[in-house]
């Protein structure tokens, strides 16, 4: 094996183990040997994404495609990044259209179409997402490798029966995948299976706790300052409700809350302890879950905005009777 291949192999091995810094170091050594290698730029992109630098990662993927416009893996990696955390769904769809031109096997076609449906869902285009799923090759629908991705998408499309059977397979075949258990819990909750949902959500919580924080995760002290900034910058109408609130920052919701139907991946929970007459009192507590904010944001740069939106939704829900997951129209508050 030549030196370049050795660095690349070692880099991918470290990347798949979550060692972003080690993978990046290997990629940079490979770059010194061959700065025009698309494979090197693809690894640099992947390691940058692991480090939470989405813009730098996307630039490397694009450089890889400049060097080799047929590089399928780089196309998919770029598209996945554009979907999350960048949320540039239109660009993702364009990238996936290019990728489909080069997809050869049923598996490659399925990977493109699953990401394409996710991008359509991100844009709120349910019918387009549904049409895209109808084009997924039959072989992929029967392949346990895609059980989670298919199940999650069918859940988002509201097809609970198909989602449930696929997610049962995913959770059984990949018992250490917290996402499989989480979406299975969502399906069970939709079906009214409270006990089953709690079991899935408790499993999710346990696995999320076992997973190390991302390499880019801020320290508790830095995150605490971010929380203070977000609260202080809330809209004037919203901050009036929480100006005197007690704010607590912890990793994820406690097991007792999950059993009481709190989403294990909620970002913010606002609590108003009841008085002696059983009515909500004046005291307000805000619980903010750092690990969940990190998971939802996907990068340190996106954390503040993600937290702001979550806090706005929670305050509007508790004090203004807005739907729990409805985005807050800031222009309509004043």
User: Is 334 strand, coil or helix?
Assistant: coil
Q: What was the pLDDT predicted at 257? A: 97
Q: Check whether residue 180 and residue 280 sit in a common domain.
A: no
Total tally of structural domains belonging to the chain: 2
Mark whether 279 and 318 lie in a shared domain.
yes
277 neighbors 314 (Cβ within 8 angstroms): no
Question: For position 278, what pLDDT does the model report?
Answer: 64
234 and 160 co-located in one domain: no
CATH of the domain at 168: 1.25.40.10
Please give the full DSSP string across 255-286, using - where no structure is assigned: HHHHHTT--TT-SEEEE--B-TTSSB-S--EE
Same domain, 271 and 225: yes
Note whether residue 43 is domain-resident: no
Give residue 326's pLDDT: 76
Q: Which pLDDT tens digit goes with each residue over 245-299?
A: 999 999 999 999 999 999 999 999 999 887 666 677 678 999 999 999 999 999 9
Domain boundary among 211, 240, 263: 211
Give the per-residue pLDDT at 330.
65
Q: What percent of the chain has pLDDT over 70?
A: 97
In a domain, 327, yes or no: yes
Tokens representing 127 are 């019918």
Expressed as residue numbers, the domain containing 287 is 220-332
What CATH number did the domain enclosing 306 receive? 3.30.2010.20
pLDDT (0 to 100) of residue 156: 96
Residues 233, 328: one domain?
Answer: yes
pLDDT-derived band at 64 (thresholds 50, 70, 90) equals very high
The arrangement of strands across the sheet holding 285-289 comes to: 246-250, 285-289, 268-271
321 falls within a domain = yes
Please tell me whether residues 250 and 278 are part of one structural domain: yes
pLDDT at 180: 98
User: How many other CB atoms sit within 10 Å of the CB of residue 233?
Assistant: 11
Tokens 């939709």 -> residue: 190
Q: What is the pLDDT of residues 71-130, one digit of tens each?
A: 999 999 999 999 999 999 999 999 999 999 999 999 999 999 999 999 999 999 999 999
What are residue 27's DSSP bridge partners?
none
pLDDT confidence of residue 272: 87
In a domain, 20, yes or no: no
pLDDT score recorded for residue 332: 62
Count of alpha carbons within 13 Å of 283, Cβ hemisphere only?
A: 7
- Return the DSSP state at 191: T
Residue 64 lies in a domain: no
Strand partners, 280: 274
Of 190, 211, 232, the residue that ends a domain is: 211
Decide if 314 is inside a domain. yes
pLDDT given at position 148: 97
Of 133, 132, 192, which Cα lies nearest the Cα of 160?
192
102 Cβ contact list (under 8 Å, min separation 6): 70, 72, 75
pLDDT, tens digit (0-9, with 9 covering 90-100), for 193-247: 999 999 999 999 999 999 999 989 999 999 999 999 999 999 988 999 999 999 9
Is 296 found in the same domain as 232? yes
Query: What is the rounded distance in angstroms from the CA atom of residue 101 to the CA atom of residue 71?
Result: 11
CA distances 312 to 109, 154, 163, 228, 256, Å, are 39, 29, 30, 14, 25
Same domain (yes/no): 225, 185: no
Burial 317-333 (b: 16+ CB within 10 A, else e): bbbeebeeeeebeeeee
First to last CA, the chain: 65
SS3 of residue 250 by DSSP: strand
1-5, 105-109, 192-196, 328-332, range with the lowest pLDDT: 328-332
Instruction: State the Cα torsion 30-31-36-39 to the nearest 10°.
Output: 50
| Contact between residue 7 and residue 33 where contact means Cβ atoms under 8 Å apart | yes
Predicted local confidence at residue 288, as pLDDT: 98
* Residue 322 pLDDT greater than 90, yes or no: no
What is the per-residue pLDDT for 39?
A: 97
Mean pLDDT for the stretch of residues 141-169: 96
Give pLDDT, residue 203. 98
Mind listing the pLDDT tens digit for each residue in 68-87?
Answer: 999 999 999 999 999 999 99
Question: What average pLDDT does the chain have?
Answer: 94
| In-domain check, residue 154 | yes
Are residues 63 and 41 in contact, defined by beta-carbon separation less than 8 angstroms? yes
**Confidence band for 190, pLDDT divided at 50, 70 and 90:** very high
List pLDDT tens digits, range 5-25: 999 999 999 999 989 999 999
Q: Which of 187, 211, 235 is the last residue of a domain?
A: 211
């Amino acid at each position: 094996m030549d030196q370049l291949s050795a660095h690349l192999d070692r880099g991918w091995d470290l990347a798949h183990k979550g060692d972003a810094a080690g993978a990046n170091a290997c990629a940079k050594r490979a770059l010194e040997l061959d700065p025009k290698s698309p494979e090197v730029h693809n690894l640099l992109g992947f390691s940058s994404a692991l480090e939470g630098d989405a813009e730098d990662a996307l630039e490397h993927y694009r450089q890889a495609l400049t060097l080799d416009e047929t590089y399928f893996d780089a196309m998919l990696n770029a598209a996945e990044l554009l979907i999350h955390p960048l949320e540039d769904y239109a660009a993702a769809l364009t990238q996936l259209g290019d990728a489909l031109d080069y997809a050869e096997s049923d598996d490659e076609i399925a990977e493109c179409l699953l990401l394409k449906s996710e991008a359509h869902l991100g844009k709120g285009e349910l019918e387009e997402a549904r049409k895209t799923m109808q084009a997924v090759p039959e072989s992929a629908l029967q392949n346990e490798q895609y059980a989670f991705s298919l199940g999650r998408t069918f859940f988002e499309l509201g097809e609970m029966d198909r989602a449930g059977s696929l997610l049962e397979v995913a959770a059984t075949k990949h018992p250490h995948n917290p996402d499989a258990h989480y979406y299975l819990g969502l399906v069970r909750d939709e079906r009214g299976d409270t006990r089953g949902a709690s079991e899935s959500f408790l499993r999710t919580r346990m696995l999320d706790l076992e997973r190390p924080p991302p390499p880019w995760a801020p320290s508790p002290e830095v995150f605490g300052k971010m929380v203070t900034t977000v609260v202080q910058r809330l809209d004037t109408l919203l901050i009036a409700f929480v100006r005197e609130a007690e704010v607590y920052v912890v990793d994820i919701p406690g097991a007792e809350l999950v059993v009481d139907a709190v989403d294990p991946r909620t970002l913010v929970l606002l609590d108003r302890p009841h008085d002696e007459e059983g009515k909500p009192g004046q005291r307000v507590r805000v619980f903010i879950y750092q690990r969940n904010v990190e998971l939802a944001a996907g990068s340190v740069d996106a954390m503040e905005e993600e937290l702001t939106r979550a806090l706005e939704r929670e305050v509007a829900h508790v004090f203004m009777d807005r739907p729990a997951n409805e985005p807050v129209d800031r222009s309509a508050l004043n």
